Amino acid sequence: MKLSTRCRRIRAFTLSAGRWQLGALAIAALASIAWAGSAALAAQYDSGANDHEIKIGNTMPYSGPASSYGTIGRAETAYFKLINDEGGVNGRKIDFISEDDGYSPPRTVEQIRKLVEEDGVLFVFNTLGTPPNTAIQPYLNLKKVPQVFVATGATKWGDYKDFHWTIGFQPNYQGEARIYAQYILKNIPNAKIGILYQNDDYGKDYLKGFKDGLGANTNLIVSEQSYETTDPTIESQIVNLKNSGANVFFNITIPKFAAQAIKKSAEIGWKPVHFLNNVSNSIGGVLVPAGLENSQDIISSAYLKDPDDPAWAKDPGMEKWRAWMAKYYPDGNAHDVFNVFGYTVAQTMVQALKQCGDDLTRENVMRQAANLKNFEPDLTLPGIKVNTSPTDYYPVEQVQLIKFVGKTWERFGQILGD
């Protein structure tokens, strides 16, 4: 009986131990499943992203008629190098692939297809130019690949209903042009306006905004001259504008032609009140080639700090930018506002990626790009903040008027815009 009792006790202990082992295994299994589930939730990826890398695509006109904009792509490359040296974004390094499209829409389409289908980028960032971006917008939206912070101010980039996957960045062209028109109506009596514009969506967008701003006073326009990006010069157009009797000149051109227009106007002794669209108000890229003496009193607009403005000599953001230029882009022109732009838009992109956390799906990249709240990059003018929402795809909507005096732009008036 004692032996039998002892056997029962041993058996009972064995069964109890077995149950404990099974229970422990079950708990471990459940914990493993829970951990795997949380890990899956914590890190979600689409093509172009993983635990170590975020692959971003871009095109820039490193050659062709808009090649002076190419420095923007180089500045962005340099900024992402800084971010990678600091550990990346949420522990992931940025692989920035920037291709030359020559400001040619067919080449842009070719390069973007390569970036998406062969390189497998997560999204496309800051592709430059209205015609190139127009050419790739349908493809990227069909593929549901984010086309983020495009480097053009065409009004169409705010169409969140029809093109969910495309979002703008800089102030839109129509809004900028309306500001010039309203300034003319208020400050220049007896204005006779001559206009030079690029014959594409970019130029026509500015032209529409300007005419909207004039309202019932479009009769003040005495001459409209257009040009193609393939034209070697715009000299004949400038002569025609002078001969029209225009005393106000609205110059809607990319840098190459802006410089030509300023220089030719001086050569033929035409001295109108000159308004230059802000996409071409680079001192190094436009005004120096045109001649600083020929550029005096030109009016434009700005939303970024000018590195040559003495007001920013000791500005913390500008000091950071200068140190970054010296270390990461020493070959770049430290007087060129295009390098300020490249730094600023790349900094904004990094902010959106930080907000993505570990959800690096294309949908979330787009969601965060459209969820920026009062973000203040280092180099936007005081009072100008970046704001977006699912129904507001215009990140920067304010500018300040500037006039070129001596060797730099001088700001005047109030911050204008929405």
Q: What is the pLDDT of residue 114?
A: 98
What average pLDDT score do residues 176-191 get?
Answer: 97
DSSP state letter for 171: P
Distance, CA of 186 to CA of 273 (rounded, Å): 14
**Cα–Cα distance for residue pair 266/415, rounded to 1 Å:** 31
**Structure confidence by residue, pLDDT tens digits, 286-301:** 999 999 999 999 999 9
**In 3-state terms, what secondary structure has residue 202?**
helix
Report all structural domains of the chain as residue ranges with CATH numbers, in order of start. Answer: 53-167+310-397 (3.40.50.2300), 173-302 (3.40.50.2300)
Are the beta carbons of 241 and 260 closer than 8 angstroms?
no
Q: Which amino acid is at 413?
A: G
Q: What is the pLDDT of residues 315-364, one digit of tens each?
A: 999 999 999 999 999 999 999 999 999 999 999 999 999 999 999 999 99
Give CA–CA dist 348/386, Å, rounded. 8
Rounded Cα–Cα distance for residues 399 and 392 (Å): 17
**pLDDT given for residue 42 in this prediction:** 63
DSSP string across 53-114: EEEEEEEE-SSSTTGGGHHHHHHHHHHHHHHHHTT-BTTBEEEEEEEE-TT-HHHHHHHHHH
31 falls in which pLDDT band (50, 70, 90)? very low
Per-residue exposure over 5-44, b if at least 16 CB sit within 10 Å of its own CB, e if not: eeeeeeeeeeeeeeeeeeeeeeeeeeeeeeeeeeeeeeee
The pLDDT of residue 303: 97
At residue 18, the pLDDT reads: 46
pLDDT at 339: 98
Q: Give me the mean pLDDT over the 362-369 stretch.
A: 98
Q: Does the CA dihedral 255-260-265-267 come out positive or negative?
A: positive
Q: Contact, 138 vs 153, CB < 8 A?
A: no
pLDDT of residue 41: 57
In this prediction the pTM is 0.87
SS3 content of the chain, % helix, strand, coil (to 5): 50, 20, 30
Task: Report residue 40's pLDDT band, with 50, 70 and 90 as the boundaries.
Answer: very low
CA angle 361, 363, 366 (to 5 degrees): 110
Note the pLDDT of residue 15: 37
Q: What is the pLDDT of residue 43?
A: 86
- Between the CA of residue 121 and those of 8, 49, 79, 107, 294, what are the distances in Å? 67, 8, 18, 18, 44
Instruction: Give mean pLDDT, residues 213-234.
Output: 98
pLDDT digits (tens, 9 = 90+) for 185-217: 999 999 999 999 999 999 999 999 999 999 999
How many Cα atoms occupy the beta-carbon half-sphere of 260 within 13 Å? Answer: 19
Question: 223 pLDDT exceeds 80?
Answer: yes
CA–CA gap between residue 260 and residue 339 (Å, rounded): 22
254 pLDDT above the threshold of 70: yes
